[in-house]
Amino acid sequence: MTKAAILLAVLLPWMSGGSTERVQEPGAAERSAEMQAVVEAPGPQEIPDQQTGESRESTSGQPEQPAVSLIRVEGPISPTTTNYIGRALELAREAGAPALIIELDTPGGLLDSTQDIVRMLFGAQVPVIVYVSPDGARAASAGTFITMAAHVAAMAPSTTIGAASPVTMAPGAEADTIQQQKIFNATESLIESIAERRDRNVEWAISAVREGASATEREALEIGVIDLVASDRQDLLRQVDGWVVDGDTLRLEGAAIEEIPQNLAERLLGILVRPEVMLILMLVAMYGIIGEMTNPGAIVPGVAGVIALVLLLFASAAMPINVAGYVLLALAIALFITEAFTPTFGLLLGTGTVAFFLGALMLFQDFPEPMALPWGWLIPATLLTAAFFLWIATYGIKAQFAAPRSGLEALIGHSAEVVDPVNRSGGRVFVAGEYWNAVSDQQIAEGEQCEIQEIDGLTMRVRPLENAGRNAQDP
């Protein structure tokens, strides 16, 4: 069909007032439908891979849900824990994670660090789920505060929570000082405010602080201390799926879990803040610096001592160190050194040992019970320090101030025989198998004994010696 014929077929019905029909070439409808299907069909979409971070295609055409972030907190609560949780909250927010799971197993920890963590959980922009796990884990003392402060509190089977009394006062005991009573009241008020904000059992929370009450996971669920009991991570995500947290509905069932490990700085600080490690650093710093002083030029002891001292100061800045302990330790060192120069027959050494023991004990007395320094570390460290100063430091310090035993300086104070008369203009003496030029402010006759006062080059300055056998030493 020509173009003119097609145009005439279209215009004639219109000119005659009839209905207009659309004329299509054979197969045009099929081609149009295919083109429409191609336009409407969803193409493959690229999404980031959670494991490698590289983009990959989604077979369903729908973007994958971001992975749930997870961290594990084990052991005492310390400044390291605070830094770890704070960094995890920030990384989870930046990654757009639907929630952050904190798997918790702790015997307690520092009250200051606990308060910092509670403040972070209250201000978190990511829903936080504290999960006391694995089976047999506990959220004692500081762990109780952290668990109850989370948006969702969960526990695994065979776990416990509670016993949140401050370590400065045992459950049921009366405060000995005003300071202890203040700490007790502040702790009670803190856990009460946490329970009220998260709509948990306020009465039980107060009893956990006041009476040291604790509960199993089933008991905690029944009395409204926690929200659920989950057997594992996937069970936890399935139960929490659909919950509304701060106006947002959680969609977690089947979601991937991405763990955020501790970085090198957090692992290092976690080791340094242990009281056992701090005690070792203190001993290394003490032994190293004093060893370098008694043996100048050894280098290795001095360098090791300075490094240990810097690490000790770094750890001390993060922990509640009692300054009185450092004062007693400094006194102990002073007594040990004084023992090297005074004939007290061990009196100062014994007093220094007692001062060292009390200083080390007081140094870590403000640490919570889970971080207390064991007696098995304290007593051996005290005995080792006493032995160090008795057998090493004492003799080393005495050697530094002892008279020279070799070289020309060793001749000073010894007696010599005059072989040529000695006066202001000169003379000669015989000492240690050698002949020396000598001068003296007094006339010394040949054959007399004299005492060597000093040596200047090849000339000795001497003085008469009346009682050579008692007042001077033979070379």
The count of structural domains within the chain is 3
- For the CA atoms of 150, 110, 374, 271, the dihedral, rounded to the nearest 10 degrees, stands at 80
Report the chain's C-alpha Rg in angstroms: 42
Does residue 279 belong to any structural domain of this protein?
A: yes
Give the residue from 398, 423, 446 where a domain finishes: 398
User: 345 with 413, same domain?
Assistant: no
The pLDDT score that the predictor gives to residue 301 is 85
Query: What tokens appear for 261 in the block?
Result: 């490990």
- For residues 306 and 284, give the distance between their C-alpha atoms in angstroms, rounded to a whole number: 9
CB 210 within 8 A of CB 170: no
Does residue 404 belong to any structural domain of this protein?
A: no
Q: What angle (nearest 5°) sits at the alpha carbon of residue 367, between those of residues 366 and 370?
A: 145
CB 243 within 8 A of CB 53: no
Helices 111-122 & 79-95 angle (0-180, nearest 10): 10
Place of tokens 């070792």: 280
User: 145 with 216, same domain?
Assistant: yes
The pLDDT score that the predictor gives to residue 105 is 96
User: 184 with 134, same domain?
Assistant: yes
Q: What residue numbers bound the domain in which 187 lies? A: 68-263
Does residue 9 belong to any structural domain of this protein?
A: no
User: 250 with 360, same domain?
Assistant: no
Question: What amino acid occupies position 340?
Answer: A
User: 81 with 200, same domain?
Assistant: yes
Where residue 220 sits, what CATH number does that domain have? 3.90.226.10
CB 214 within 8 A of CB 162: yes
Where residue 451 sits, what CATH number does that domain have? 2.40.50.140
User: 294 with 328, same domain?
Assistant: yes
- For residues 153 and 288, give the distance between their C-alpha atoms in angstroms, rounded to a whole number: 49
Give the residue from 234, 263, 292 where a domain finishes: 263
Does residue 122 belong to any structural domain of this protein?
A: yes
CB 109 within 8 A of CB 77: yes
The pLDDT score that the predictor gives to residue 89 is 96
Does residue 166 belong to any structural domain of this protein?
A: yes
Q: What is the pLDDT along the chain (475 residues), one digit of tens a residue?
A: 444 444 444 444 444 444 334 334 444 444 444 434 433 434 444 434 433 333 334 444 445 678 999 999 998 898 999 999 999 999 999 999 999 999 999 998 888 899 999 999 999 999 999 999 999 999 999 999 999 999 999 999 999 999 988 865 333 334 457 777 788 888 999 999 999 999 999 999 999 998 989 999 999 999 999 999 999 999 999 999 999 998 889 999 989 999 999 999 888 888 888 888 988 998 899 888 877 876 777 788 889 999 999 998 888 877 777 788 889 988 988 888 787 777 667 788 888 889 999 888 888 776 766 677 778 888 888 888 888 877 765 665 566 555 555 567 777 888 899 999 999 888 999 998 889 999 998 898 888 999 988 888 888 999 988 744 444 555 5
User: 366 with 459, same domain?
Assistant: no
User: 184 with 252, same domain?
Assistant: yes
Does residue 235 belong to any structural domain of this protein?
A: yes
Place of tokens 């490094």: 307
Query: What tokens appear for 449 in the block?
Result: 């004994």
The pLDDT score that the predictor gives to residue 28 is 44
How many CB atoms neighbour CB 57 within 10 A? 10
The pLDDT score that the predictor gives to residue 456 is 85
Both ends of the chain: CA-CA distance in Å?
A: 139
- For residues 104 and 147, give the distance between their C-alpha atoms in angstroms, rounded to a whole number: 8
User: 181 with 134, same domain?
Assistant: yes
Does residue 1 belong to any structural domain of this protein?
A: no
CB 343 within 8 A of CB 298: no
Give the residue from 374, 398, 422 where a domain finishes: 398
**Bridge partners (DSSP) listed for residue 437:** 428, 459
Does residue 136 belong to any structural domain of this protein?
A: yes
User: 207 with 98, same domain?
Assistant: yes
The pLDDT score that the predictor gives to residue 180 is 74
Instruction: Please state the φ and ψ torsions of residue 440, each to the nearest 5 degrees.
Output: -155, 150
Question: What amino acid occupies position 470?
Answer: R
Handedness of CA 464, 466, 468, 472 (dihedral sign): negative
User: 359 with 294, same domain?
Assistant: yes
Helix (H) or strand (E) holding 248: strand 248-249
Nearest to 357 by CA among 380, 387, 334: 380
The pLDDT score that the predictor gives to residue 403 is 59
CB 105 within 8 A of CB 153: no
Give the C-alpha distances (Å, rounded to integers) separating 383 from 304, 338, 350, 433: 21, 18, 11, 49
- For residues 166 and 368, give the distance between their C-alpha atoms in angstroms, rounded to a whole number: 8
How many CB atoms neighbour CB 141 within 10 A? 30
User: 257 with 280, same domain?
Assistant: no
Residue 418: alpha-carbon gap to chain centroid? 71
